[in-house]
Chains A and B, each alone.
Chain A
Amino acid sequence: MENNDIIRPENLVYKRPALLSENHMHYCPGCSHGVVHKLVAEVIEEMGLAESAIGVAPVGCAVFAYNYIDIDWMEAAHGRATAMATAAKRLQPDKLVFTYQGDGDFSAIGTCESIHSCNRGENIAIIFINNAIYGMTGGQMAPTTLLGQKTATCPYGRRADLNGYPLAITPLLAQLDGTCYVTRQSVHKPANVRKAKAAIKKAFQNSLDGKGTSVVEIVATCNTGWKLTPEKANLWMEENMFAKYPLGDLKDVDAKK
């Protein structure tokens, strides 16, 4: 097969999702955000929600998510994304409203809003990227930073007596009556990417169906912050992160039936 045959439209097997813009992403090579962005764009397109999707962007690495996914976006103050999503959804119940937040935004400064939005059972979807570090500001400690993990603000490794324990927030949210679907996924291998996509789709569908709050935690890498190559970061995640943050569904109200 010649090159010219390969690029013929009838031979197309994979393309950039229509809703993923051509802006160059500011994410570091190896970062998980790019993959998750692509999944969100794909799912919105496949579900036919391009005209009714509203994203709420966080403060953190994903602050510019609005530059990459071509839907309507509002940019929240640090930690307040779920409060904004609450109002956006209640005021426009026919829209798909989701937040896209990192571990600092969602489980440190925004913990109060996160818990109460989930507890009220707001019909929103939350995509929560947990890479156990503050990437945007230069690799400081996150609530989810593992014990012993080195960051700019725990340079000798996180110590429970000094810094407290890593916060696993999704199991907490799974206990709340307002959540309908709480799951933990990753995007470091093709099989995981497929599962993560299915999870995002399910979360969005739940929101449209008014079932309550869905939380999709993506256990992610930050190879820059972790000071590892992308490949080693994936291995480090499998060995260390998955022990504290094991993958799988924590809650699915449909599965019980």
Chain B
Amino acid sequence: MKDQVTLMKGNEALAMAMIRYGADGYFGYPITPQSEVLEKLEEEMPWDTTGMVVLQAESEVSAINMVYAGACCGKAVCTSTSSPGFSLMQEGMSYMSASEVPALVINVMRGGPGLGTIHPSQADYFQACKGGGHGDYHPIVLAPSSVQEMADFVGLAWDLAFKYRCVSMILVDGLIGQMMEKVVLPEQKPRRTEDQIREQCPWAINGRKGMRPKNIITSLELDDDKMEANNERFQATYREIEKNEVRCELVNTDDCDYLMVAFGSMARIGMKTMELAAEEGIKIGLVRPITLWPFPTKEIAEAAKGKKGVFVPELSCGQMIEDVKLAVECKLPVEFYGRTGGNVPSPEELLDALKNKLINK
């Protein structure tokens, strides 16, 4: 049944999209500004309809390890949290990556460091994209910038996680989590049966049915050469992901003098900045990375060709800008403007910053 357009918060859209995807389980711990995810799931009672398990864990540490177990079982499982909780989950991120199991982890970012603020931030970019836990690993990181994308990326993230046997993340700030917009939810898919899981995930921990050889999922390998071979296999997967899964939106990048690179809510604000700039005769184009890892390096390098400068606004002290500089190999000026503490700049503020740093310098 095709759904009607409805109005909901980004966090609620995440919850509904999980149920619609045919998710097997959600394990989470309340933290502002993403608690609506668990609240919505508990309100919807999907265990009575699709059979989805929903559990409020005793901590984020416990929640991520429940997700780890579910992923080992070949189930479509996820958690959501906000920045301080995501810090607690880094151990699990590393273990899941090392165990090559598919999972979805959502971080609706708030301002840090420390307990910080409950208001929006993008300062967990490094932690998500560069691997906040120990060892060499990457999750795929999707950055929605609308409530519709919150709903759409849940399914995409899971599909990618199962395709590559890796962890997928949705990295978004509290602004998109808390705002309401129009959304069309994906159609309801059935949960996979045990037979389907056995076929799709022959490695899964679901009992030796028919006395098949036992499955073991572990991140431990004390033989140095074998562990190195494991790392080489992980890296090969990451190169494959980099080759196939880069996603970004280009707006007006052909006909502009200045390029803006922004993700999530900052890209939305940047779009308004572009409108305001156009009224003053300043031509700005936008590259909006949709995957933060893999990063749209080539796309940015291409779009930056012949431009007078690149402007990178972030809700941080400057994190993604490092990848932008690498992308354009510092061949043109790359300037940063950031706000922290939960403050969000207005479109006018961004335009002023761009003018000061790139035009009237």
Chain A residues in contact with chain B, CB under 8 A? Answer: 50-54, 56-57, 63, 66-67, 70-77, 80, 83-88, 90-92, 95, 112-113, 116
Contact = CB atoms under 8 A, between A and B. Distances in A.
A71 B205 CA distance: 9
B66 A86 contact: yes
Given A52-B207, A77-B91, A83 B216 contact: no
B68 interface: yes
Interface stretch (B118-126, B217-225, B251-259, B334-342): B217-225
Contacts of A73: 205, 214-218
Contacts of B206: 54, 72, 92, 95
B205 A54 contact: yes
26 contacts: A50-B211, A54-B205, A56-B69, A71-B207, A72-B214, A73-B205, A73-B215, A74-B217, A75-B99, A75-B219, A76-B65, A76-B68, A80-B61, A83-B65, A83-B69, A84-B65, A87-B53, A87-B68, A88-B69, A88-B73, A91-B25, A91-B75, A92-B194, A95-B206, A95-B207, A116-B58
B69 A51 contact: no
Contacts of B152: none
Contact of B77 (A56, A57, A91): A91
Given A51-B208, A80-B62, A74 B72 contact: yes
B144 to A, nearest CB: 26
Given A51-B208, A51-B210, A112 B69 contact: no
Interface string B190-213: 000010000000000111111100
Interface in B64-100: 65-70, 72-73, 75, 77, 91-92, 95, 99
B214 A87 contact: no
Contact of A74 (B58, B209, B211, B218): B218
Interface in B325-356: none
Nearest to A57: B218
Contacts of A72: 205-208, 214-216
Closest 9 A/B residue pairs (Cβ): A75-B218, A84-B69, A87-B66, A80-B65, A116-B58, A87-B69, A83-B65, A52-B207, A83-B62
B55 interface: yes
* Chain B interface, >50% SS class: mixed
Nearest to A89: B69
B312 to A, nearest CB: 36
Most A CB within 10 A of own CB, among B53, B66, B68 = B66
B62 A91 contact: no
Contacts of B194: 92
Contacts of B62: 80, 83, 86, 112-113, 116
Contacts of B219: 75
Contacts, number: 124
Contact of A71 (B57, B208, B217): B208
B27 interface: yes
B208 A50 contact: yes
Interface of B: 24-25, 27, 53, 55, 57-59, 61-63, 65-70, 72-73, 75, 77, 91-92, 95, 99, 194, 205-211, 214-220
B208 A87 contact: no
A63 B95 CA distance: 15
Given A72-B206, A74-B72, 15 more contacts: A56-B69, A70-B214, A74-B216, A75-B99, A75-B220, A77-B68, A77-B91, A80-B68, A84-B65, A85-B69, A90-B55, A91-B70, A91-B75, A113-B61, A113-B62
Given A77-B91, A80-B61, A116-B62, A86 B214 contact: no
B53 A91 contact: yes
B214 A77 contact: no
Contacts of B27: 87
Nearest to A73: B216
Most B CB within 10 A of own CB, among A67, A83, A113 = A83
A51 B24 CA distance: 22
A70 B53 CA distance: 28
B226 to A, nearest CB: 14
